Structure 1
Amino acid sequence: MSQAQPTIDLAGKVAFVTGAGSGIGRSTALRFSQAGAAVMCADINADGAKVTAESINGTGGKAASLQLDVTDETAVEKSFQQTLDALGGFDILFNNAGVGGLDYEQTLNVNQNGVYYGLRHGAELLAQRGGGAIVNTASIAGLQGLVSPLDMLEGTEAGMIRDGGIAYIASKHAVVGMTRQYAIAYGQRGVRVNAVAPGYIDTPMTEIIRQDVQIQHEYEQLHPMGRLGRPEEIATAVVFLSSDAASFITGHTLPVDGGYSCR
Structure 2
Amino acid sequence: MIVISAASGALGRLVVDNLRARTEVVAVVRDLGRAPEGVPARHGDYDDPASLRAAFDGASRLLLISSPELDPSRKTRQHLAAVAAAEAVGVGAIAFTSFLGAGTVATGMTEAYHATEQAILDSGLPYTMLRHPFYSDAFVPRISGGELTGSTGGRGLNTAFRSDLAEAAANVLVGEGHLGRAYDFTGPLWSHPEVAAALGVTYREVPDTGPGPMSWINGLVRAGALEQQTPDLERVLGRPAETVVSRLLGRRTP
Q: Which TM-score tier does this pair reach, normalised by the shorter chain? A: 0.5 to 0.7
2:184 is equivalent to residue 255 of structure 1:
yes
SS at match of 1:21: coil
Check the 8 A contact 1:135/1:196 in 2, yes or no: yes
| Paired residue type of 1:20 | A
Pick the aligned partner of 2:55 from 79, 87, 91. 79
1:181 aligns with 122
RMSD: 3.3
Report Cα offsets for 1:188-216 as digits up to 9, x if no partner.
Answer: xxxx211111111145xx4xx56977787
2:28 aligned residue (29, 38, 42): 42
C-alpha deviation, 1:116, in angstroms: 2.0
Does the C-alpha gap of structure 1 residues 68 and 217 become closer, same or farther in structure 2, counting only changes over 3 Å? farther
CA distance in 1 between partners of 2:83 and 2:56 (Å): 11
Does residue 200 in structure 1 map to residue 164 in structure 2?
no
Change (3 A) 1:97 1:45: farther
- Match of residue 3 from structure 1: none
Is residue 79 of structure 2 the alignment partner of residue 115 of structure 1?
Answer: yes
Shift in alpha-carbon separation, 1:218–1:70, aligned structure 2, 3 A = same
- Answering whether residue 160 of structure 2 is matched by residue 229 of structure 1, we say yes
Deviation at 1:93, TM superposition (A): 0.6
CA positional deviation for 1:145? 6.6
CA separation of 1:45 and 1:140: change in aligned 2, threshold 3 A:
farther
For 1:253 and 1:94, the matched residues in 2 are separated by: 14
Q: Note if 1:15 corresponds to 2:25.
A: no
Q: Distance in 1 between matches of 2:24 and 2:131?
A: 25
- Amino acid of the residue matched to residue 133 of structure 1? A
Is residue 96 of structure 2 the alignment partner of residue 133 of structure 1?
no
Structure 1, gaps ≥5 residues long? 1-13, 58-62, 82-88, 147-164, 187-191
TM-superposed deviation, 1:176: 2.6
Counterpart residue type for residue 59 of structure 2: F
The residue matched to 2:176 in structure 1 has which SS? helix
1:253 is paired with a residue of what secondary structure?
strand
Q: Decide whether aligned partners of structure 1 residues 200 and 126 sit closer, same or farther in structure 2, where only a CA change above 3 A counts.
A: same
Q: Structure 1: how far apart are the matches of 2:18 and 2:3?
A: 12
The one-character-per-residue Cα deviations of 1:108-150 (angstroms, maximum 9, x if unpaired) are 323x2222222222234336xxxx221011111524679xxxx
Query: In the aligned structure 2, how far is the partner of 1:243 from the partner of 1:20?
Result: 17
Asked if the contact 2:66–2:96 (Cα under 8 Å) also holds between the matched residues in 1, the reply is no
Task: Check the 8 A contact 2:105/2:111 in 1, yes or no.
Answer: no
Amino acid in the other structure paired with 1:196: L
Higher relative contact order (CA 8 A, sep 6+): 1
SS of the aligned residue for 2:93 comes to strand
Higher helix proportion: 1
* Structure 1 residues 32 and 114, CA gap change in structure 2 (3 angstroms): farther
Q: Quickly say closer, same or farther: Cα 1:33–1:215, change in 2 above 3 A.
A: farther
Identity over aligned pairs, percent: 11
1:23 maps to a residue whose letter is A
Q: TM-score, normalised by structure 2?
A: 0.61
3-state SS of the aligned residue for 1:200? coil
CA contact (8 A) 2:53 2:88 kept: no
Contact 2:156 2:227 survives alignment (8 Å)? no
What is the TM-score when the length of structure 1 is the normalising length?
0.59
CA distance in 1, matches of 2:12, 2:69: 15
